[in-house]
Structures are given as structure tokens and as C-alpha cells.
Amino acid sequence: MHHETTVLLIEVGALLLGLGMLGRLARRIGLSPIPLYLLAGLAFGQGGLLPLNASEEFFATGAEIGVILLLVMLGLEYSADELVGNLRSAAPAGLIDGVLNALPGAAFALLLGWGWLSAVVLAGVTWVSSSGVIAKVLADLGRLGNRETPVILSVLVIEDLAMALYLPLLTALLAGTGLLGGGIALVVAVATVVVVLLVATRYGRAISAIFPVNNPEALLLGVLGLTLLVAGVAAQLKVSAAVGAFLVGIALSGPVAHNATELLSPLRDLFAAVFFVFFGLATNPADIPPVLLPALGLAVLTIGTKVVTGYLAAGRVGVALPGRLRAGLGLVPRGEFSIVIAGLAVTSSAVEPRLAPLATAYVLITVVVGPLLGRLPDVPAVKGWLRRRMEARRLAPATAPD
């Protein structure tokens, strides 16, 4: 066995063992393990306490697979009909989401004098919530069956589909190809999304029939292979791989979806942990302090706008006050898309150099604080306050004067 392979096995094995211990600790103290995974990545990344070099490529690939598995598992929870219904009902919420959460990022960049292109980049960073982080938090907190969860999902899907249009345009702007290049990229992205959506909604049963329900090995390999294939093709066409994976989950239904969920769950947990660790590994802790205060201010502002977004979106479909609060707080974390957007901007000389470390610090703040805030509605004191508010609202009409 080559020396490099030996070092790789030692690094990966030690880190996974450590993550297992952190996950156990998180469960014991009643927290999501995501913040601990991120801090572990910071500790062992470049500039950390003990940098891991041999396993960097492994974690980079594993992180991409982790996001894909998180999204396909989320898609398996819902049928194509539910997706279409949710998108129709959540379209106004998607518009509110874009306005409330993209504008602060753009305004922040312009106020700092970073220019319009940096404003476009930072708008995307603050706009899009992390589907991967939110999917894991919902699963950790046992909320996949809650009434507000389809609302959260609808907002995330609208964001992901919007990214399928935003990313090609941004890439063209950063490359300086102008409106023609951006228009071509946009047409390809729209066509790809429409085709995949049509296949998912109209031929879902036919796709499900391909996979043997009673053969776990063939089902696992088939569903995993299809998911990675569609995600890869989507990414090659400059459409989000996450959107492709999610739509594969939507396309599968019935016993196939149920059995695939059980088979893929352990893989999702493994590669999701790898994703969050890699996120920390890719961040140099030394770059964070100079931009920490601006990032903190931007995070506080846009945490508030995300809470308002979820609260209004859940209220539109009649969700009660606790569910509205859970929906708002559940949308707080930013993650994979924000980092992708910042990464695209790094190569452009027209973008402010401080934007990348600011985006990294901003995402780390929201991705650590978000899962903690997500538990807030379950705190007994908050539960009691929400119950009293609901009771007061219920009694208000009856006690109002004539």
C-alpha cells in the first residue's frame, strides 16, 4: 500500500471516528451536530490546529455527494403533485424571499463602495438558504412531517430553481461575456429545468417501475446511480446539481421511494457529515477576524429577514403561530450555494477581494446559529409564550366590545 493511501486512511478514519464522538455528544446535550462538524473542519483545515492534507480531495468529493444525497432524500418525502401545488402556493413567498434577502446583500456591498458586480454577488450570498443544512436540521429535529415543512421546502425549491437562472448569468457577467453570453447560458438553464420537471411530474411512475422494490442491493445501486448521474448532467449544463438530485427524489414514488429512503439514510448521514466538515476545512480561520464585525451585522439583519419570510409564507397557508416561527427560523442557515457564488467571484478582478472572506464568515455565522435558533420554538418558555399568544388571539374576538 502506497504511503499516500496509508496517510489518507489514517486521516479519514481518525476524523470520522471523531465525528462519531461529536455526534454522540450533540445528541446527549440535545443539539444538532452540524455546528460541531463545522468547528471540527475549522480545526483541521488550512491554518487550523492540525491541517489534514492527504484527505482534502476525498472530503471535497464527499462533500458534493453529501449535498446531493441530502436533496434527493428531501425529494423522496414528497410527490410530484405536492411539488407543483406547493410551488403555486409559494410563488408569492418566493418573491418576498428574494426581495427581503437579496436586497440587504446588494445594499451592503454598495454602501461599502464595492461596485455593482460585487453587489450582485453578495445579493446571491445573502438570498439563498442552505438546502443541505436545513434538510439535515429538519431530520435531526424530527420535523419532516410538520405542517410548516412543505412551506420551507417550497421556498427552498424556488430558491434552487432561481439559482439555476442566477448562476449562469453571474458566470457570464464575471467572465465579461456580456448580455449575449448570459442570454445563451440562461436559455440552456431554463430548458434543462423545464425538461427535468416534465419528466419528474409526468413519468414518475414509469421511472419508479425500473427499480426492483424487493432487491435492496439493486435498488440502492440503481437509485444512487440515477441520482448522481442526473446531478452530474445538471451541473454540466450549468444547472444546480442539487436541483437535479431533488427532482430525482420527486420522480420516485410509492414503495420504491419508501424503501430507497431507508437504504439511503445511512449514506446520507455519512456524506452529510463530510459536507459540513469540508465546509470548515475550506476556510482559513485567519481570514475571518478582519471581516467578522461586518459579517455579524449582515447576518443579524438577514436572519431577521429570513424569519419574516418564513413567518409570512407559513401564515399564507394557515399554519399556526408556532409553525410560522419554526418556518422562519428554519430558513436562517446559508451554505453551499453561498459558497459557490463567492467562489465564482474569487477569480474575477472586478469583485472586491474582501468579499470572499466576508461571505465565508457570514455563512459560518448563519450555519452555526441557524440550527441553534431552529430549536428555539421547542424551549419550554417559548412554547408557553406561544401558547398564551394563541389563546389570547382565540379569545380576542369573543371578548371584543360590540
Domain ranges of the chain: 79-265+286-378
- Say whether pTM exceeds 0.85: no
Q: Which of 142-156, 236-250, 340-354 has the highest mean pLDDT?
A: 142-156
Which residue shows C-alpha cell 468579499? 355
Question: Averaged over 250-261, what is the pLDDT?
Answer: 83
Backbone φ/ψ region at 204: left (φ over 0), alpha (ψ -120 to 50), beta: alpha
**What is 156-219 written as a DSSP string?**
HHHHHHHHHHHHHHHHHHHHT-HHHHHHHHHHHHHHHHHHHHHHHHHSHHHHHHTS-TT-HHHH
Q: How confident is the model at residue 86 (pLDDT cuts 50, 70, 90)?
A: low
- The mean predicted confidence, pLDDT, of the chain is 81
* Cα three-residue angle 363-365-368, rounded to 5 degrees: 100
* Cα three-residue angle 89-95-101, rounded to 5 degrees: 130
Q: So what's the architecture of 79-265+286-378 in CATH? A: Up-down Bundle (1.20)
Residue 89 has which C-alpha cell? 402556493
Question: Averaged over 90-98, what is the pLDDT?
Answer: 84
Q: Is the dihedral of CA 141, 224, 162, 365 positive or negative?
A: positive
pLDDT score at 401: 46
Question: Averaged over 184-196, what is the pLDDT?
Answer: 71
pLDDT score at 59: 81
pLDDT digits (tens, 9 = 90+) for 354-389: 888 888 889 888 988 888 888 888 788 877 887 788
pLDDT reading at 402 higher than 50? no
pLDDT digits (tens, 9 = 90+) for 212-221: 888 889 999 9
Cα distance between residue 346 and residue 382, in whole Å: 42
pLDDT score at 32: 67
> What residues have CB less than 8 Å from 113, skipping those under 6 apart?
none
